[in-house]
Structures are given as structure tokens and as C-alpha cells.
Structure 1
Amino acid sequence: MQANTCHIRPAQAGDITAIQSIYAHHVLYGMATFEEKVPDMAEMHQRYEKITAAGFPYLVAVYNNEVVGYCYVSAYRPRIAYRFTVENSIYLRHDMAQKGIGSQLLKALIKACERGPWRQMIAVIGGTENLASINLHKRHGFTLTGIQPNTGFKHNRWIDTVLMQREIGEGSRTVPKEQD
């Protein structure tokens, strides 16, 4: 598959079944999420609604009329001083790695965030051995800001948390305008 054969578009409520299936695989078999119990469809719909109702971008990658990946940003932290900082999440269907889809998704997500008020994007990556995610973020301008050792425990082992960050738009060069 060529990377340019994938279509990136805003997620829709009808995509949640595919999104839930993609995420379930990562919950059950991966270290990218520290969640250990697969959220049901109702929970996934609630998460989608909360993110999109807050005005955050939520995108899907479609290949052969199937959702094969998704990404979104959410508030990095709840305190008001963090209002211009978002945390990104990106997941691919387990058989779609190394095809350029993650890169297309992250590029589109960054572009979507540049149209909003946000100035910083944080990636919280599960595991120092998650080189696919670490390298993906590096390719899109993220730098390593820290490693929190042994902060997660999943599949009977300790997992580090990798923190990466990049500026969005004007970043910290100017004072952001408050949204009405």
C-alpha cells in the first residue's frame, strides 16, 4: 500500500465501532495505552462526544473504505493555565503499521491544531521501546522532554512513560489570543 492511498477526514459517530476495535487491540495486547480493560461502545461514544464537543480535532484514516487508524487531541491537564496545550493520541489498526498512515494522521492533526488556539502539543508515549511512536513524533518535530521510569504496570511488567513535545503555530513566540 502506498501512503498516499489513505484518506484522512474528521471522525464521525459512525466510526466508533472501528475505533473501538482498533483501540481494543492496543488495550489487550499493547503497551501504548495503560488502560487494561477494553472500554465498551457506550464509553467510546462518550469519549468521542466529550472531545469533539470541546472543539478538539478527532480524525480517522480510511483505506479501502475502512477506518484503519485514528487520532485526536484532548486537554493536556484540567487547570486553566494549560488551556493552550493539548495531548495527542494516535492508534493504528494492528495490521497497518509501517505504511505511512500514522505520519499522515499526525501531520493532519498538527495542521488541524494550528487552526485552533493551541500552542503546544504533548505526546505521552507508553514505553521507551515504543520506537515506532517515538520516531513518528520525532519526524513531526517533537523533541524528547522526559522519561518517567516505571510509571505504568501492565502485562506483568513495569513500563516507562516517554514525554515528547512540539510547538504548534506561533508556539511561545507570542501571547495567545483568548477565545470568546
Structure 2
Amino acid sequence: MAKNSSPADEQRDDAPKVGKGRPTPTRAEQEAKRIRPLVATTKEAKKAARAEMRARRERAQIGLQNGEERYLGPRDRGPQRRFARDWTDAGWHLAEFLMPMMILVLIASVLPIAFMQIWAFAALWIYIIFAIIDMILLSNRVKKKAAEKWGDGREKGLGWYAAMRSVQMRFMRMPKPQVKRGNYPQL
């Protein structure tokens, strides 16, 4: 044993070290470690960033088409909106055939027969009137069914949402229809 050593010094050498055993880095050192460019500068980094962004967009597009809640916009979110979508998609509506009808009228208007042109436009306007009536009936039905299911907690605008969805052709609707025709949602 050395002359100047005490039993307390011997215990300190055998005891485990407390703390991390190194000095705490300064704030400037920590910030310097984290600095990296906001925009990728190398070709490989740019290519990887583009590939990642493309994969994220594709996943979001698939999620939107499948009606996954986290990928839907604010207009389409929630169980009541899903109910209105499913109710609309389960039925046949005059308004979804409005575009094909307009194309037929456009073709008829090109024909040199005046009689055909006049009757085509008259038929289109009659069809539009019936489509609007069908949209109003759909709106009222969806509001009534939603009120039966949710009572006073029913969202505003469900009827309009369903009516506007019925105007779109079924294969063009987004999110894609999740129910087959005739399969109305349960109350």
C-alpha cells in the first residue's frame, strides 16, 4: 500500500463509474452533427427521394381508391359519409347516365335533320329534370336513413354529398364503390 492512499481511495477504484464517462457535448457540436441539406444534393439521394415519394403517392392513391379512412380527404371522412357513399353506390340513379345522354344529344345535334336536333334537346332537358328529381329523392332518403341510424348526431350535408356522388358515373367515383348494386348498408 502506498503511503498517501486511504481505504476510501481503494473503494473508489473498484466502484462502478457513475454517469456516461465522457463530457457532455456542447450545443454547437450537437447541431453540427445534425446539419444536412434540406434538398438532396447527390444524384443517388435525389433518385432515392423521388422513388420514396412515388411509392408514398402510389400507396395513398390505392388507399383512397379502397376507401381507407386515413387516406380520405376531409370531405369523405367519417362513418356517416361512408354510409352516404354506400347508400348511393348501392342504387341505380338517372344522374349517373347524364354524361352519356349529353354525348348522344351532341351527336344528334350534328345531324342535318332539324326535327332530330329539336327532339334530342327536348329529351335531354326532360332527362335532366327527372335526374334532378331523382337526386332530391336520394338526398331525402339518405338524410332520413342517417337520422334513423345516428339520430340528432347526424352530420349536415349528407344529402348533398350523396346527390353529388350520384351524378358521377359509377366507375369514375372516388373513393371507388365498396358495395355492389342492391347491397344497401344496414341501419
TM range (shorter): under 0.3
- Which of the two has greater strand per residue? 1
> For the pair shown, which has the larger CA radius of gyration, 1 or 2?
2
- Which of the two has greater helix per residue? 2
What TM-score comes out, normalization by structure 1 length?
Answer: 0.23
What TM-score comes out, normalization by structure 2 length?
Answer: 0.23
Higher RCO (C-alpha 8 Å, min separation 6): 2
